[in-house]
């Protein structure tokens, strides 16, 4: 069958090549449709409960993506006429940032004061050039004593200040984020030049959104050339011939182009996780070609011509390659169970690429390689070394079985040392400006983690109820006493200030109004006096049934966020059970994502494991060996997580997809080893020891080489500046290494041991 098919391919090889190129060009055209996703919400599925809660919050109040200008005067004085003039200047222009709806700074802060029976509402800084030293220190004292501003827009030491720009993206076009960011960066450049005394940095959610495509492009620029160089060197080393190298190189490029082209046609958006798909496809595709070409070379060495050699190679390798492709595809498809859509895309693109690599390996590759010249070369080196290693394993199989089992058991026992934990700012490493600037902001001015808390009553206008205000204030005070909390923005502070203003600015009246009507009327008065964009709509819902309390936190890990969330909701439950309190925001969403992803990937991995085992049972035509193969398929991931637990100990959302994904890859080693073992038992009638020897001899070197290639490929991924990709690459490398070790040192002794007590029919 396969022989006949291969002969047909070779007979029509020019047509096959033409058709392949045409197909690749047609599908590859779709890659033009690819665009970068720039919204952190991409990490959340449409029915993610935290996302839904967040959207509800945003629909009730206002959306709150932001760009925060962190401004550091080099002379260390925010409150100087020059710096204030600059802040005012930048504040004014910040209203021009595309999609901005609100700008808050120390200069446009709506300061309220009493003047006889007047309520004076004005910008805190009106005309900086006219300010005397006395004015400056008065303004400074107002700013750093105003709970709305201190540690949010001004550092307590008055050395750092912020201008917060609220950005409301319509979400209709992909260029919204880059447009806003480009304007903000333009401003940064312009004002750094205009005011050399200022150091300006940009942080905030919109900047983070923009960092995603930038990290993706960064990966594309830095890792792809590395990966391409890597295959060329690998192929030259392994195939020792230009023909094989060119053929394989083209085949791999075609596979990647096909995968990315299909992604384009399917409308998949590029995100940092997706950017690792080409590297994965490239790495996986090498194996198919290497198996085919190494056998072909071997046959030529034995005296066959290149056509016959290819036919023989196809006969031997077709089914193993088919099965390993199938299992790899299943493994990648298990990523569809992930809770984070970018991993679906990654899995699907990699699966399509691996499938394409198989198709091109059995069409384009035999067609082209039989056109190009082939020289008989030396046998692939190392074969005898592998044979010796095999003999060593067979000789010491009992002790090896014990040692290997003990080592694996110890490693598996280390798995619980892993803690499910993520710090989402650290998704970007320190080469990315966003990360550096966020760390700087967190260190000097304010936090970059936000939780928005909606505190609601069931009563229309209920927020003016003194009881509600008292509760809200208690809650705010409680929050402010928490060590993680940097800033709490709450309407209760405004109420206190207005009450004071209404009593001739008497500090004794800096307290909540004690009567409902009074509170409601203060609010009305205050609302009437606010300027465009600085209204209370972001703090109060339309029915005045709830207020939004905005909490700024230190940089925390997901576990710490979850613990904080738990602690405050318990406190609320205990102290004010009648109020509805819900905390949301990207911080909370990302914190929950890890756990949700682990749970969903547990299902995905189980399904993949079941399907892959079925494939193996059918392929081995043996339930027994299908089940035995579970061990070398599952243990590598478990052992790798054990090593991870020993050396790293933190598992985030990216690593939770590794088990499912690598399952399909590590199976390949098992498939090759077991199929050779079984062939020796069945066709050659060898006993277990001899069959193990045969398997080592025939595929040992190939397994070693492909594993080295895979590890190298994934180690390139590990160089990503995007932590999710880097972690995924590193852990996958460890899994593959463990898989090889187990296939060489645990599986063979086990096979021999199982048949110690007499021959078993296979």
Partner 1 sequence: MNIKLIRMTFAAAAIGCLPFALFAETAEEKGLAIAVEADKRDEGFGDSTANMIMELKNKQGDTSTRYIRIKTLEVIGDGDKSMSIFDEPADVKGTAFLTFSHAVKPDEQWLYLPALKRVKRINSKNKSGPFMGSEFAYEDIASQEVEKYTYKYLRDETLNGIDCFVIERYPAYKHSGYTRQVGWINKEEYRPEKIVFYDRKNTLLKTLTYDGYQQYLDKYWRSDQMFMENHQTGKSTKLSWSDYQFKTGLKDRDFNKNSLKRAK
Indicate the residue among 3 and 459 with the shorter CB distance to partner 1: 459
User: At its nearest, how many Å lie between partner 1 and the CB of residue 98?
Assistant: 7
Any idea which residue has 């290494």 for tokens? 737
Any idea which residue has 């409960």 for tokens? 49
Indicate the residue among 168 and 405 with the shorter CB distance to partner 1: 168
742 contacts 640 by C-beta, under 8 angstroms = no
User: At its nearest, how many Å lie between partner 1 and the CB of residue 104?
Assistant: 15
CA separation for the pair 544, 469 (Å, rounded) = 12
User: At its nearest, how many Å lie between partner 1 and the CB of residue 449?
Assistant: 25
For 424, the token pair is: 């989402």
User: At its nearest, how many Å lie between partner 1 and the CB of residue 167?
Assistant: 10
Indicate the residue among 585 and 626 with the shorter CB distance to partner 1: 585
E strand map for 608-680: 650-651
C-alpha distances in angstroms, 445 versus 72, 552, 585?
A: 10, 11, 20
For 532, the token pair is: 């465009």
User: At its nearest, how many Å lie between partner 1 and the CB of residue 62?
Assistant: 6
Indicate the residue among 176 and 437 with the shorter CB distance to partner 1: 176
User: At its nearest, how many Å lie between partner 1 and the CB of residue 122?
Assistant: 7
Indicate the residue among 536 and 708 with the shorter CB distance to partner 1: 536
**Which of the 8 DSSP states describes residue 380?**
P
User: At its nearest, how many Å lie between partner 1 and the CB of residue 593?
Assistant: 24
Indicate the residue among 142 and 534 with the shorter CB distance to partner 1: 534
Indicate the residue among 513 and 594 with the shorter CB distance to partner 1: 513
Any idea which residue has 């011939």 for tokens? 241
Quick one: which H or E segment has residue 110?
Answer: strand 110-115
How does strand 485-489 pair with strand 546-553? antiparallel
Tell me which residues touch partner 1 (CB under 8 A): 56, 58-60, 62-63, 95-101, 115, 117-122, 168, 170, 460-461, 464, 502, 515-522, 524-525, 527-537, 540-544
450 contacts 553 by C-beta, under 8 angstroms = yes
Indicate the residue among 474 and 535 with the shorter CB distance to partner 1: 535
User: At its nearest, how many Å lie between partner 1 and the CB of residue 468?
Assistant: 12
What is the four-CA torsion angle of 667, 673, 676, 677, rounded to 10 degrees? -110
User: At its nearest, how many Å lie between partner 1 and the CB of residue 179?
Assistant: 11
Indicate the residue among 45 and 543 with the shorter CB distance to partner 1: 543
User: At its nearest, how many Å lie between partner 1 and the CB of residue 166?
Assistant: 11
Indicate the residue among 115 and 430 with the shorter CB distance to partner 1: 115
289 contacts 247 by C-beta, under 8 angstroms = yes
Name the residue among 75, 87, 76 with its Cα closest to residue 149.
Answer: 87
Name the residue among 491, 463, 493, 420 with its Cα closest to residue 645.
Answer: 420
CA separation for the pair 237, 337 (Å, rounded) = 38
* Burial class (CB within 10 angstroms; exposed 0-12, middle 13-18, buried 19+) of 71: buried
Sign of CA dihedral 607, 608, 611, 614: negative
Name the residue among 739, 620, 602, 717 with its Cα closest to residue 219.
Answer: 717
298 contacts 380 by C-beta, under 8 angstroms = yes
User: At its nearest, how many Å lie between partner 1 and the CB of residue 708?
Assistant: 55
Residue 203's DSSP bridge partners are 68
CA angle 525–529–533, rounded 5-degree value = 125
User: At its nearest, how many Å lie between partner 1 and the CB of residue 499?
Assistant: 10
Indicate the residue among 188 and 344 with the shorter CB distance to partner 1: 188
Indicate the residue among 63 and 471 with the shorter CB distance to partner 1: 63
Indicate the residue among 243 and 584 with the shorter CB distance to partner 1: 584
644 contacts 411 by C-beta, under 8 angstroms = no
Indicate the residue among 108 and 404 with the shorter CB distance to partner 1: 108
281 contacts 255 by C-beta, under 8 angstroms = yes
Any idea which residue has 């967190």 for tokens? 442
CA separation for the pair 209, 193 (Å, rounded) = 26
User: At its nearest, how many Å lie between partner 1 and the CB of residue 537?
Assistant: 7
User: At its nearest, how many Å lie between partner 1 and the CB of residue 457?
Assistant: 13
Indicate the residue among 1 and 130 with the shorter CB distance to partner 1: 130
User: At its nearest, how many Å lie between partner 1 and the CB of residue 64?
Assistant: 11
Q: Give how far the C-alpha of residue 304 lies from the chain's centroid of Cα atoms, to the nearest Å.
A: 50
Cβ contacts of 522 within 8 Å, gap of 6 or more: 495, 498, 499, 502, 513
Indicate the residue among 116 and 193 with the shorter CB distance to partner 1: 116
498 contacts 522 by C-beta, under 8 angstroms = yes
Indicate the residue among 52 and 754 with the shorter CB distance to partner 1: 52
Q: What is the 3-state secondary structure (H, E, C) of 711-749?
A: HHHHHHHCCCCEHHHHHHHHHHHHHHHHHHHHHHHCHHH
Indicate the residue among 520 and 563 with the shorter CB distance to partner 1: 520
**Rg, Å, the chain Cα set:** 32
Q: Give residue 640's region: left, alpha or beta (phi > 0; psi -120 to 50).
A: alpha
Q: Give residue 571's region: left, alpha or beta (phi > 0; psi -120 to 50).
A: alpha
488 contacts 480 by C-beta, under 8 angstroms = yes
Cβ contacts of 675 within 8 Å, gap of 6 or more: 319, 320, 619, 620
User: At its nearest, how many Å lie between partner 1 and the CB of residue 219?
Assistant: 34
User: At its nearest, how many Å lie between partner 1 and the CB of residue 174?
Assistant: 18
What counts of helices (H) and strands (E) characterise the chain? Answer: 26, 12
User: At its nearest, how many Å lie between partner 1 and the CB of residue 118?
Assistant: 4
Instruction: Kindly list the strands in the beta sheet with 485-489, ordered across the sheet, starting from the edge strand earlier in the chain.
Output: 485-489, 546-553, 449-456, 580-584
C-alpha distances in angstroms, 587 versus 185, 206, 483, 540, 701?
A: 25, 14, 17, 22, 48
């Amino acid at each position: 069958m396969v022989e006949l098919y291969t002969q047909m391919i070779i007979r029509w090889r020019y047509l096959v090549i033409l058709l392949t190129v045409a197909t690749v060009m047609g599908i590859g055209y779709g890659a033009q449709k690819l665009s970068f996703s720039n919204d952190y919400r991409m990490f959340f599925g449409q029915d993610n409960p935290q996302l839904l809660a967040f959207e509800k919050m945003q629909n009730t109040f206002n959306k709150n993506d932001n760009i925060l200008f962190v401004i550091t005067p080099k002379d260390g004085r925010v409150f100087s006429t020059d710096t204030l003039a600059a802040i005012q200047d930048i504040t004014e222009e910040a209203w021009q940032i595309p999609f901005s709806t609100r700008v808050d700074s120390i200069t446009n802060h709506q300061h309220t004061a009493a003047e006889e029976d007047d309520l004076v509402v004005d910008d805190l800084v009106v005309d900086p050039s006219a300010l005397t030293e006395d004015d400056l220190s008065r303004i400074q004292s107002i700013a750093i004593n105003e709970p709305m501003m201190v540690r949010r827009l001004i550092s307590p030491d008055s050395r750092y200040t912020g201008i917060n720009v609220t950005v409301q993206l319509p979400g209709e076009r992909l260029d919204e984020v880059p447009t806003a960011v480009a304007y903000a960066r333009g401003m940064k450049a312009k004002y750094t030049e205009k005011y050399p005394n200022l150091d300006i940095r940009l942080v905030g959610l919109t900047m983070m959104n923009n960092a995603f495509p930038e990290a993706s492009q960064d990966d594309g620029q830095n890792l792809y050339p590395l990966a391409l160089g890597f295959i060329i060197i690998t192929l030259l080393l392994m195939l020792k011939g230009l023909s094989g190298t060119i053929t394989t190189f083209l085949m791999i490029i075609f596979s990647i182009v096909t995968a990315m082209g299909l992604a384009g046609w399917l409308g998949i958006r590029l995100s940092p996780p997706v950017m690792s798909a080409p590297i994965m496809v490239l790495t996986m595709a090498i194996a198919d070609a290497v198996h085919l070409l190494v056998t072909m070379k071997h046959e030529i060495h034995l005296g066959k011509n290149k056509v016959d050699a290819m036919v023989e190679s196809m006969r031997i390798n077709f089914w193993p390659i088919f099965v390993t492709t199938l299992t790899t595809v299943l493994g990648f498809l298990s990523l569809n169970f992930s809770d984070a859509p970018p991993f679906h895309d990654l899995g699907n693109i990699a699966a399509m690429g691996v499938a394409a690599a198989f198709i091109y390996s059995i069409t384009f590759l035999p067609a082209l390689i039989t056109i190009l010249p082939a020289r008989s070369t030396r046998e692939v080196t190392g074969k005898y070394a592998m044979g010796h290693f095999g003999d060593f394993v067979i000789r010491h199989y009992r002790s090896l079985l014990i040692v290997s089992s003990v080592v694996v058991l110890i490693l598996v026992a280390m798995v619980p040392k892993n803690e499910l934990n993520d710090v989402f700012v650290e998704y970007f490493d320190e080469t990315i400006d966003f990360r550096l600037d966020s760390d700087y902001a967190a260190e000097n001015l304010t936090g970059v983690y936000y939780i928005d808390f909606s505190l609601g009553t069931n009563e229309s206008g209920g927020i003016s109820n003194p009881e509600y205000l008292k509760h809200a204030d208690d809650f705010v005070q409680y929050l402010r006493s928490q060590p993680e909390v940097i800033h709490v923005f709450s309407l209760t502070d405004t109420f206190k200030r207005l009450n004071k203003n209404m009593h001739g600015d008497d500090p004794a009246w800096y307290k909540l109004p004690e009567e409902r009507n009074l509170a409601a009327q203060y609010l009305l008065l205050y609302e009437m006096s606010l300027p465009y964009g600085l209204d209370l709509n972001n703090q109060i819902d339309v029915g005045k049934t709830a207020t939004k309390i905005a909490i700024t936190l230190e940089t925390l890990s997901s576990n710490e966020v979850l613990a904080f969330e738990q602690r405050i909701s318990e406190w609320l439950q205990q102290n004010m059970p009648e109020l509805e309190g819900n905390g949301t925001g990207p911080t909370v969403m990302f914190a929950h994502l890890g756990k949700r992803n682990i749970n969903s990937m547990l299902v995905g991995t189980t399904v993949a494991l079941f399907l892959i085992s079925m494939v193996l049972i059918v392929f081995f035509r043996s339930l027994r060996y299908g089940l035995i193969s579970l061990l070398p398929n599952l243990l590598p991931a478990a052992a790798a997580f054990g090593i991870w637990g020993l050396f790293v100990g933190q598992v985030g959302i990216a690593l939770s997809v590794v088990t499912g994904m690598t399952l399909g890859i590590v199976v390949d080693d098992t498939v090759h080893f077991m199929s050779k073992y079984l062939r020796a038992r069945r066709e050659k009638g060898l006993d277990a020891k001899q069959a193990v020897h045969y398997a080592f001899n025939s595929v040992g070197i190939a397994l070693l080489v492909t594993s080295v290639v895979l590890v190298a490929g994934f180690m390139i991924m590990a160089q990503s500046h995007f932590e999710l990709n880097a972690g995924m690459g590193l852990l996958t490398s460890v899994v593959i290494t463990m898989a090889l070790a187990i296939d060489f040192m645990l599986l063979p002794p086990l096979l021999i041991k199982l048949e110690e007590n007499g021959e078993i029919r296979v």
